[in-house]
Each structure stands twice: as C-alpha cells, then as structure tokens.
C-alpha cells in the first residue's frame, strides 16, 4: 500500500495526536486500541515522510520537538473542527453536559479565564464544574474528566498529562521597597514568608519552601515561620497585597508575572515531580463531548506550556 496515500497520512496524524496528548506511545495505544509497537511504527513512518523528528525519545518519557509542537498546533484544531462537524451530522451528539472536577486553585487562576473560548467554540456543550481538593479521592462515576495535581499515577483510571509543574518564590514589587536587598536566599530572614498548607499532602506547611531551597543548594535557610493559608490562590493574593514572599506554581501565576503585580526575585525555578493531569475512566473518551473537552484542554495546556518559564529550571525538588 502506498505509504503516502491520504488515508494513511490521516491515520498516522490521528496516532500522532493521541501520542502528543499523552506523551506516551503506550497510552496512545490504549486510547486507539492498538499496540505500543504499532503506535511507534506509525509515528516513525510519519517522521520519515515529513523528514522531521516529532518526539524526543527520552529514557522514561517523551517530549515533543519544535516540529512536533508546530504540527500539533496545526493538526489539533483541524481535527477538532472535523469532529465537531461529524457530531452535528450525527444529530447533536455533542450537545449535553460534561462533568468536570478540578482543583480550586487551578479552576480560579487557569481554567476560568479560558472557559469563554470553550463556550464560543462549542456552545452546545454544557460544563458542570465541581472544585475539590486532591484530599478527596477520585471515584469512578462521579465525573467525566478530573484535573488533578499528582505524579501522574492513577490506579483504575487513565490519564493525560496537561502541564508539568515548577515552583519559585514570588512577591509584590512593593515588598522589596525599603528593605535590605534580596540578592540571594540567605537574605530571606529579612522578609515575611507565606505558606500554602495544602501544597504537599501530609507535610508541614513550610515543606514547599524547604524543597525549593534544598533543590537550589540553600538548605540552611530557616523558613519555619510566617503566615499560612489552605488555598494556593489565597496565598498568591496575599503575596500581591505585599504581605510576604510565597512559593508560586508556574502554571498558576503567569498573568500576575506578565502584569508586574508579582516578581520572581531569584533566577531559579525547580521541578516538583508533580504534574497537572486529566483523569478519566476507561472508555470515557468514546463520548464525543468528553473527547472534545479533553482535546481542548490538552491544546490549551500546550499553548500555555510553550509560553516558557519565568525562571530557569535548575533541579528537581520532588524530594525523592
């Protein structure tokens, strides 16, 4: 069979989309009901045909290359439009409710500003959104899609990685006025600190500060003091108000950094080993409404991740 036939190209692009969403050939195979080897072969044939590498095959994960990111940005909305047209032809199969469970901080700072785009693109889909902390267990049948921050392991469920998380200190520019220079972590004792008590389940409130400082080589700095809150977005609002320095998650703080309401005084950010994931039951993506919302979230996350980090990634603060 001609490997350049349009039908083969379309089939390989579908495989590419699944692999790009999951960043895993194995999970792409599970979604498409084909073997991991078949996914790998289809991707290689597509890469050979394009003359471009689409993925970096790292020891334990995949990464999209620049050509891979460009292809995803072009192909994903095109196939979403096709899926929408097919849904309309099938008599309104895309109409109805999709139940989404998400973390409160992610909902308030990342998802809500983007929801108008989903509404404009798919007005017939109605989201039913519930905000729950990770401390509440995920139970099959209670949601169609869940957004969680974890290491990506969800027994009994399937998952798609959305965003890999990094942390770094932030504060209001006003906090730095009239105080000693904050040129290094050793100067933190001159400044009040803010803590998100829910950042690391089962750990002390200051654990995230300690993980960050240990990863950048400053474990001697004492951070066991300051104000404590049980929501990340509340902690960030207190930082904006000038109450102190807080550890920020890159995913949730882009707008505040771009606007100048918050600044990052140090040049290092640290990977936490956590990632925001879409979690769903086996077979959930066979519902076109759920699949559309899933793919839209993946595309939005891809655009956000391509925006770049406000600080240089220097290490791993997962504490392994």
Does 178 fall in a domain? Answer: yes
Which residue among 59, 93, 127 closes a domain? 93
Written as six digits, the tokens of 29 are 């195979």
pLDDT at site 90: 54
pLDDT 10s digits, 115-156: 998 988 888 899 999 998 765 678 878 899 999 988 878 888
pLDDT at site 1: 41
Does 105 fall in a domain? Answer: no
pTM above 0.75, yes or no: no
Domain total for the chain? Answer: 2
CATH code at position 212: 3.40.190.10
d(Cα 110, Cα 116) in Å, to the nearest integer?
Answer: 12
Does 303 fall in a domain? Answer: no
d(Cα 137, Cα 77) in Å, to the nearest integer?
Answer: 33
Does 36 fall in a domain? Answer: yes
Which residue among 57, 75, 93 closes a domain? 93
CATH code at position 41: 1.10.10.10
Q: Which domain holds residue 59?
A: 1-93
Both 169 and 268 in one domain: the answer is yes
pLDDT at site 75: 85
pLDDT at site 2: 45
Q: Which residues contact 139 (CB under 8 A, 6 or more apart)?
A: none
Does 124 fall in a domain? Answer: no
134-141 CB contacts, 8 Å cutoff, 24+ apart: 134/103, 134/198, 134/201, 135/198, 135/201, 138/101, 138/279, 140/281, 141/281
> How buried is 117 (Cβ within 10 angstroms: 0-12 exposed, 13-18 middle, 19+ buried)?
exposed
Does 127 fall in a domain? Answer: no
What is the Cα gyration radius of the chain?
21
Does 150 fall in a domain? Answer: no
Both 82 and 173 in one domain: the answer is no
pLDDT at site 89: 55
Does 200 fall in a domain? Answer: yes
Low-confidence ranges of the chain (pLDDT < 70): 1-7, 83-93, 134-136, 199-202, 305-320
d(Cα 240, Cα 180) in Å, to the nearest integer?
Answer: 19
Which residue among 93, 122, 137 closes a domain? 93
């Amino acid at each position: 069979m001609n490997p350049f036939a349009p039908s083969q190209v379309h089939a390989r692009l579908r495989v590419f989309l699944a692999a790009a969403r999951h960043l895993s050939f194995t999970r792409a195979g599970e979604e498409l009901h084909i073997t991991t080897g078949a996914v790998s072969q289809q991707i290689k044939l597509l890469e050979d045909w394009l003359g471009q590498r689409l993925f970096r095959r790292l020891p334990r994960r995949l990464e999209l290359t620049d050509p891979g990111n460009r292809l995803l940005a072009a192909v994903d909305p095109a196939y979403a439009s096709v899926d929408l047209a097919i849904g309309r032809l099938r008599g309104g199969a895309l109409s109805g409710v999709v139940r989404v469970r998400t973390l409160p901080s992610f909902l308030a700072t990342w998802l809500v500003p983007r929801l108008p785009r989903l509404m404009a693109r798919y007005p017939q889909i109605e989201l039913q959104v519930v905000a729950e902390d990770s401390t509440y267990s995920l139970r099959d049948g209670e949601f169609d899609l869940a957004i969680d921050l974890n290491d990506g392991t969800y027994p009994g469920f399937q998952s798609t990685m959305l965003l890999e998380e990094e942390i770094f200190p932030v504060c209001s520019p006003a906090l730095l006025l009239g105080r000693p220079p904050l040129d290094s972590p050793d100067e933190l004792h001159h400044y009040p600190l803010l803590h998100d008590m829910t950042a690391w389940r089962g750990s002390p409130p200051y654990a995230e500060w300690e993980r960050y400082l240990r990863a950048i080589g400053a474990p001697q700095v004492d951070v066991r003091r300051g104000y404590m809150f049980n929501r990340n977005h509340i902690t960030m609002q207190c930082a904006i108000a000038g109450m102190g320095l807080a550890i920020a998650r890159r995913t949730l703080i882009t707008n505040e950094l771009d606007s100048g309401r918050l600044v990052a005084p140090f040049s290092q950010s640290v990977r936490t080993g956590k990632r925001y994931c879409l979690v769903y039951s086996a077979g959930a993506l066979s519902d076109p409404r759920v699949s559309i919302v899933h793919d839209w979230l993946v595309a939005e996350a891809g655009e956000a991740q391509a925006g770049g980090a406000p600080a240089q990634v220097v290490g791993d603060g997962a504490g392994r």
